[in-house]
Amino acid sequence: MRHWKCFSLSQEHQKRTRIKTTTPTILCACVINPRRAVWYEVQNLKGTGSIMALAGVRVIELAGLAPAPFCGMILSDFGAKVIRVDRTKVAMTVDTQARGKQSIALNLKNPKGVAVLKRLCVQSDVVLEPYRKGVMEKMGLGPDDLLKENPRLIYARLTGYGQSGSYAKAAGHDINYLAMSGLLSMLGRSSEKPYAPLNLVADFAGGGLMCAFGIVLALLERSMSGQGQIIDASMVEGAAYVGSFMWKSRSLGLWNHPRGENLLDSGAPFYDTYRTSDGKYMAVGAIEPQFYQQLIRGLGLDDADLPAQMSVSDWPQLRETFIRVFATKTQAEWSQVFNGTDACVTPVLSLDEVLSHPHNKARGSFFKDSQGEVSPRPAPVLSRSPAEPCRSRDPFIGEHTRSVLKEYGFEQGQIDQLLSGGIVECNEAKARL
C-alpha cells in the first residue's frame, strides 16, 4: 500500500495557490512525485477561484545574482513553492526577485549541509542552480548525485556559457553573453559602439525566462515519462534563440545596412523615439503605409511635401522633420493627438508613470505589494488558472529555515543540532521585528 503524506503549506501559499492541505478526507489528490503526494482540497470548485498552473510543484533555488532568481520568481508567481537556499553568515540578500519565496540559510561547505540539501531535493520536483560549471559537482550535489536519489527531479542549470565548450567555466555577465550571442553587434545607433539594452536580453529573456520555460517543458514531459532530466540553460544560447528573428529575417534584407541604419534598429525615422517640448519622449512605430499615413496626418504634415516613406537615402531629412515637429508639443499633447488612432505612436512612460496610465490601469497590468512597491503583474494571463503574485514582503535570509526543515520531515532534535552546529541559520526574530 502506498503511504500518502500530508504537508503543511504556509497560510500565504495556501491562500495564493488556493490549495489547502488537509486530512485524507479530501476531494482530490495530486501526485506530483510518487515519493510525496500533496493532498488538495479544492477550495472553490464552483468557479470563483482556481488552482494556479504550477501549484504543488516544489522548487529548490540556490541563491544567485539575477537570472535564476527571476526564473524562481516566475515559477512562484504561477503557484510553485520556491525555497531559496541562501548562504549562512550573510546579513542581506541581493535577490530582488524573491516574491513569494521562502528562504533557508544553509552552509553547503559542510557535508552536513550538503546532506540537508540532498534531503530537500529528494522531496522536490525541481532544483535550480546558478553556479559556474563544476561547482555543484565539487559539493557532491551534481546531477548524478541528486538524480540517483530522486529520478523524477528536474535539475536546471542556468549558466552563461552552458555546461560544455571552452568558455563553460569562465565568469561573465549579461553583456558578455549578449556579445557572444551575436545580438550585441546589432544593437546601437548609427556610427556608435554596440549598446547593451540594460541586462534584459541575456539575463532575463534568454536566461531566467528561458530556463523557466525549460522547467515547465520538463515537468510536462515528466507527467508522461515519469522521469526527471537535466536542463542545460546557457544564456548565450537563450539570448540567441530569443533573437531567432534576426537570423531568419536576414533573407528579407532587414539587416543589410550597418548597425542603426536599418528599418527596426532606429535607422528608419518612422521607427524611433522623439523628444517633446517638455523633455519627454514619444515612441513611433508606424511601419505599414496605412499606419504611416496616420502618423503624417497626426503630425500635421502633408505627404506631398515629404519624400517617400521607404526612400532610405531620404531618411535623414525625414527624421529632421519629425524631430522639429515633435518638439512643438508636450508628451501629453501628442498623446492626445494620437490616442485612438492607428498611427502607432505612444508616450515613453517612466516606471513611475505606468501604473496610472488608463490602459494599464484598466487591465491591472501593474500592482502594488504590501510595502507599496509597484511591480508588473505576471504575464501572460491564463483564463482559468492565472498567476497570483504574493503581495507580502520578500523573505529575510533564513526566515523559513525552521519551518522548511519541519515540512521536509526533520525532527526538532535534528533541527536544533543543525542550528547549534552552524549548518543552518534561522532568522525568525528579524522577521518578527
Ligand X SMILES: C[C@H](CCC[C@@H](C)[C@H]1CC[C@H]2[C@@H]3[C@H](O)C[C@@H]4C[C@H](O)CC[C@]4(C)[C@H]3C[C@H](O)[C@]12C)C(=O)SCCNC(=O)CCNC(=O)[C@H](O)C(C)(C)COP(=O)(O)OP(=O)(O)OC[C@H]1O[C@@H](n2cnc3c(N)ncnc32)[C@H](O)[C@@H]1OP(=O)(O)O
Residues lying near ligand X in the complex (CB under 6 A): 62, 64-67, 85, 87, 92, 94, 106-109, 130-132, 135, 138-139, 159-160, 171-174, 199, 203
The full length of the chain comes to 433
Query: Least distance to ligand X from the beta carbon of 115, Å?
Result: 13
Closest among 92, 35, 53 to 399, alpha carbons compared: 92
Q: Which is nearer to ligand X, 57 or 158 (CB)?
A: 158
Question: Quick one: which of 230, 80, 219 has its CA closest to 148?
Answer: 230
Smallest gap from residue 139 Cβ to ligand X (A) = 5
For the bound state, the minimum distance from the C-beta of residue 242 to ligand X, rounded and expressed in Å, comes to 15
Give catalytic status of residue 352 as yes or no.
no
Amino acid at position 10, single letter: S
> Which among 128, 101, 355 has a CA at the least distance from the CA of 230?
128
177, 202 in Cβ contact below 8 A? yes
Backbone φ and ψ for 82, nearest 5 degrees, come out as -110, 120
Query: Closest separation between CB of residue 87 and ligand X, Å?
Result: 4
Taking the least distance from each CB to ligand X, the nearer of 92 and 304 is 92
Q: Which stretch of DSSP H or E encloses residue 383?
A: none
For 19, which DSSP code? B
Q: Which long-range contacts (CB under 8 A, 24 or more apart) does 428-431 make?
A: 428/399, 428/402, 430/396, 430/399, 431/395, 431/396, 431/399
Q: Is 3 a catalytic residue?
A: no
Closer of 60 and 218 to ligand X (Cβ): 60
Least distance CB 69 / ligand X (angstroms): 9
C-alpha cell at 379: 504575464
Task: Using the minimum distance from each CB to ligand X, give the nearer residue, 62 or 344.
Answer: 62
Decide whether 52 or 415 has the Cβ nearer to ligand X: 415
Per-residue cell: 133:
560549471
Q: Which residues share a beta bridge with 283?
A: 273, 346
User: Which residue's CB is nearer to ligand X, number 5 or number 138?
Assistant: 138
For residue 62, the minimal CB distance to ligand X (Å) is: 6
Least distance to ligand X from the beta carbon of 426, Å? 15
Per-residue b/e over 379-395, b at no fewer than 16 CB within 10 Å? Answer: eeeeeebbbbbbbeebb
Select 272 or 425, whichever has its Cβ closest to ligand X: 425
- CA distances in angstroms from 340 to 291, 326, 393, listed in the order given: 12, 18, 38
Look up residue 352 and give its DSSP letter.
T
d(CA 8, CA 292) in angstroms, rounded, equals 58
Q: Which residues of 73-100 are buried (b: 16+ CB within 10 A; e: fewer)?
A: bbbbbbbbbbbbbbbbeeeebebebbbb
β-strand partners of 167? none
Catalytic residue of the set 174, 203, 265, 272: 203
Q: Which residues are catalytic?
A: 173, 203
